[in-house]
Structure 1
Amino acid sequence: MTGDVSGLRIAIVNWRDPWHPAAGGAERYAWELARRFAARGAAVTYVTARAPGQRRRETVEGVAFARMGGTFTVYPRVLAWLLARRRRFDAVIDCQNGIPFFTPWVLPRGVPVFCSIFHVHDDQFGLYFPRWLAWIGRTLEGPVARRAYRRHACTAISVTTLDALRERLSWTGPVYLVPVGVTLPETPPAQPAPADPGTDAPAAGGSGERDALAPGGAAGRDMPAPGGTGEGGALAPGGTGNGVAAVGGLAGRGDPELVCVTRLVPHKQVERILDLAEYLRVRRPGVRVGVVGRGPEEERLAALVRERGLGDVVTLHGFVSEEAKAALVARADLHLSASRGEGWGLCVAEAAALGVPTVAYDVDGLRDAVRDGVTGWLAAPGDALAATVERALKELDDPVRRAAIRDACREWAAEFDWARSADRMGALLAAAVRRGTSGTSDSAAHVLAGYGAGTLVAEGPLRDRLVTEPGVAVLRPATARERLLGRALDDDGGR
């Protein structure tokens, strides 16, 4: 793919950086792209908010960090910073975490901007803000953003995020797919000793001293801590940083173990995991359910565990190390998600990489990350999880079926790789800089032939550039799955 970013000056603007105490999947995504672009010769500046104790300026793995402002003041501060440096960058990735930065307002018209959207937040504003502020959030995310980026393009991480942009935000401009990656474990994780149920202490290796980072913002060993908050840890490959929800006993042996890796925030609906535990303790005595991750819901959930007498079934682990997380997930029978919507589901993909299927709701993002009946099971959003979990456990009781699901999970997770994600975004950036725009007249993705060996799925300015080269031809529109994977599948497009 023609994704040579060497020599390009790229600004990545995000609400937080991956070491921010409230970092999440969007921060992990932005960082994985940034560090790879820098390694490939680009001059990358990551512009973001500054948490207490973080340095205003530093360089990590070749990426220059510029931190300024807080939760809301970061927006005007970043715009002012970019306005003063408006001719310094060749392209900008503007990350929308509910509200974008509106960088086209302060940049020259010829600087391509990609509005990178992890998921659509419209319904979530009402969960966290009063009605008037939620209305402002929805207005900025929808009609104001549509106008601000009308000459530019968006990138989405999943098919349902793309669909939500079209259907819920009435986005009419081009949207391209650049999915998240998964780091596959090089060696099987060691199995930790079972944790005592009913505690909220972190499992082996957990710090227990800080809020867990949101999915994808984890601490681990392949990314050095940049001297920020001083709370310890570096980001881990493929990690979510929520810590781990885990249980006792090895998967496939004895009583079932269920694991849920998540932030403890309202839209994750972790109380439904407690409902499930209450149901299963009667139907499958000996079941163990764990929930790990921290957030504003932590104390309320701990109180619910005590009030409902679930201390012998449910373990609240808090934050744990990346190594402990992988080990705890790997030994579980099932990974669980009760979220009402995601952009993709990093935790789901990382569990799949360990051969562990997921039961989740059939909602945005999760219906992309979970292949129903193949790498997990999807429940109707209004239903309890119990019936779907029972069906899943019955299928997993069959060793042959269990092995097939495990292999399918690993095969599916292997389709997603951070290097390939950087290739795809880099190709879009390079083509946009060359053409002077991130936009296109045809926002569909197409299967091309005649470029290199075999076929290629391309969209946006990359496709527009390639079709002008001798011998390159458009074969057909790409299917949704081909667009997600970035490659042509069999004759039916892998439907």
Structure 2
Amino acid sequence: MSGPLRLAVVNWRDPWHPAAGGAERYAWEIARRTAERGVRVYYVTSRAPGQPRRDRVDGVDFVRLGGRFTVYPLVLLWLLRRRFRRGGRFDAVIDCQNGIPFFTPWALPRRVPVFCVIHHVHDAQFGVHFPPWMAWIGRMLEGPVSRWTYRRHAYVVVSPSTLRAVRERLAWKGPVYVVPNGSDEPPDVHGAVATGHPQLACVTRLVPHKRLGLLLDLARGLADRHPGLRLHIIGSGPEADALAAGIEERGLHGVAVAHGYVTEHVKAALVAASDLHVSTSQGEGWGLSVIEAAALGVPSVAFDVDGLRDAVRDRVTGWLVGPDDEPAEVVERALKELAEPGRRDEIAARCRAWAAEFDWARTAARMADLVEAAVRAGSSSTADDRAQVVHRYGDVHLRVVEGPVRDELLAGPGEVREVREATTVERLLGRPRSTGEAARGDLE
């Protein structure tokens, strides 16, 4: 191969799209940080009204094609045209699934490695957003069609529960690697100030699967027992009008405050001034808002569902609502525990330590390592997709590696001193537990 590596990151939207969310942040951080390594990166996506068709930001070339649904065939046509153009081929593709992937292997040479990124399984959500016939098509594309299309390639997931979901709900039997979301240093804002009344925050996109009605019902039940309680709902989306109507119908004026879109600094200030961050989502790939709250020292109450059960460490950085739990009772229990002498500071410290484990630079480096090893191997696949802790003689540190990175490391020069399977949390964090952490039982 001559010249720099050429990578296509294909995602439904870009980070400046009006409906952008966590998936767009993930794709953008991967793209721009990989470009910093000298890779030629193209971010191929849909085009919102007013956006330019071509752009270049932070060393990443943007190509915007089509709208909500037409972007899928147009991306395939664009890749096909480049396939037959001199110097137009890609060395690897990151194909991001937002309900359904782009099926890029249909337009690529067989030896081009493809990583299909799955944030969370959408099978149940298709029925929330679409009529039955369209939901059935969505489930077929996400399941059987994807299994056949990516059979020579690999999935990348952002959390252990998403890994379980693609195995159990999508029946995917191919290799899966874990590359989690990162997080930023939080803005410098003041923490909670005692008001004598519970202060709750919820950072969320206003879409159906976030179950905003359930959030408002929770606030109404708590307000009856805690006069002066405030719930700050931060975020925008198509359910904004329904949220306003729900507040009106439940008589929650002065209790639930819909802030809409706010700046990052205002968002951080509202969360930092809260006792708890609350999520009523029915499922996430991860839970970026939970980690952002934890970085500010604020624990979360969330449902014990995919993604959130990984982002929240139950009774350590927050509380999970199980299938037999009443959400209001879990919030009451959390508030009572936070009122114990010294307990709030202890939980805040653990929240910050947990959030500090996630960093966009490390996330991008893990993905870039997978991509570069796959290009050298000619495939993103592997015969053994376990994550393993590997220590070779002469290495200063143990490494948690998987897929083509692990295969290359074990086949390389130098005697291997230790190989063991990584624990679930080690795989998520991308590092082995230290001796001290193992002795204390930390991170498990």
- The answer, yes or no, to whether TM exceeds 0.5 is yes
Residue 481, structure 1, aligned to residue 429, structure 2? no
8 Å contact from structure 1 (residues 45, 63) kept in 2: yes
Which aligned pairs between 1:414-429 and structure 2 lie closer than 5 A? 414-429=356-371
1:100 aligned partner: 101
**Which is richer in helix?**
2
Give secondary structure in 2 for the equivalent of 1:317.
Answer: strand
Are 1:251 and 1:333, in contact at CA under 8 Å, matched by a contact in 2? no
The change in CA–CA distance for 1:381 and 1:184 in structure 2 (over 3 A counts) is: farther
Q: 1:175-200 CA distances to partner (integer Å, 9 max, x unpaired)?
A: 00000001012x52158xxxxxxxxx
Q: What's 1:129 paired with?
A: 130
Q: State the match for 1:287 in structure 2.
A: 229
Q: Give, in whole Å, the separation in 2 of the partners of 1:12 and 1:126.
A: 28
1:383 positional shift: 4.3
| Displacement of 1:88 | 1.7
How many angstroms does 1:305 deviate by? 1.2
Contact 1:272 1:385 in 2 (8 A): no
1:253: how far off?
4.0
| 1:183 matches 2:173 | no
Alignment of 1:41-52 (within 5 A): 41-52=38-49
Corresponding residue number in structure 2 for 1:147: 148
Show the counterpart of 1:213: none
**Residues 110-129 of structure 1: pairs in structure 2 closer than 5 A:** 110-129=111-130
Aligned residues: 431
The aligned residue for residue 71 of structure 2 is 74
- Higher RCO by CA contacts (8 Å cutoff, separation 6 or greater): 1
Local SS of the residue matching 1:475: strand
- Deviation per CA, 1:211-237: give whole Å up to 9, x if none: xxxxxxxxxxxxxxxxxxxxxxxxxxx
Q: 1-side partners of 2:195 and 2:423: how far apart?
A: 40
Query: Is the partner of 2:342 in helix, strand or coil?
Result: helix
Indicate the residue corresponding to 2:316 in structure 1. 374
SS state of the match for residue 344, structure 1? coil
Contact conserved, 1:357 with 1:405, CA < 8 A, in 2? Answer: yes
Assess if the C-alpha contact under 8 Å between 2:5 and 2:39 holds in 1.
Answer: yes
Q: C-alpha separation between the residues in 1 aligned to 2:224 and 2:24?
A: 41
Q: Percent identity?
A: 62
CA distance in structure 2 between the aligned counterparts of 1:325 and 1:140, rounded to whole angstroms = 37
1:84 partner letter = R
Q: Which residue of 2 aligns with 1:63?
A: 60
SS in 2 for 1:16: coil
Q: Which residue of 1 aligns with 2:330?
A: 388
Whole-Å separation in 1 of the counterparts to 2:5 and 2:49: 31
Residues 190 and 273 in structure 2, CA contact (< 8 A), matched pair in contact too? no
Report Cα offsets for 1:136-155 as digits up to 9, x if no partner: 00000001000100000010
Q: Distance in 2 between matches of 1:373 and 1:333?
A: 15
SS in structure 1 opposite 2:216? helix
Determine if the alignment matches structure 1 residue 452 to structure 2 residue 407.
no
Aligned with 2:411 (options 468, 473, 486): 468
Distance (Å, rounded) in 1 between the aligned partners of 2:396 and 2:193: 42
C-alpha distance in structure 2 between counterparts of 1:184 and 1:98, whole Å: 30
Helix, strand or coil: the match of 1:316?
strand
Quick check: 477-486 or 275-284, which moved more? Answer: 275-284
Query: Any stretches of 5+ residues in structure 2 without a counterpart?
Result: none
Q: Deviations over 1:217-271 (max 9, x none)?
A: xxxxxxxxxxxxxxxxxxxxxxxxxxxxxxxxx4444211000000111110111
Q: Deviations over 1:349-369 (max 9, x none)?
A: 000000000000000000000
The residue correspondences of 1:222-261 to structure 2 (distance < 5 A) are: 250-261=192-203
Deviation at 1:293, TM superposition (A): 1.4
Deviations along 1:156-182, whole A, 9 cap, x unmatched? 000000110000000000000000001
Alignment-derived partner of residue 166 in structure 1: 167
8 Å contact from structure 1 (residues 333, 356) kept in 2: yes
8 Å CA contact 1:159, 1:177 repeated in 2: yes
TM-align CA RMSD: 1.5
Q: Distance in 1 between matches of 2:208 and 2:44?
A: 28
Decide whether the 8 Å contact of 1:100 with 1:141 is kept in 2.
yes
**SS state at 1:45 partner:** strand
Q: TM-score of the superposition, structure 1-length normalised?
A: 0.85
Q: Following the alignment from structure 1 to structure 2, what is the Cα–Cα distance between the partners of residues 397 and 60?
A: 47
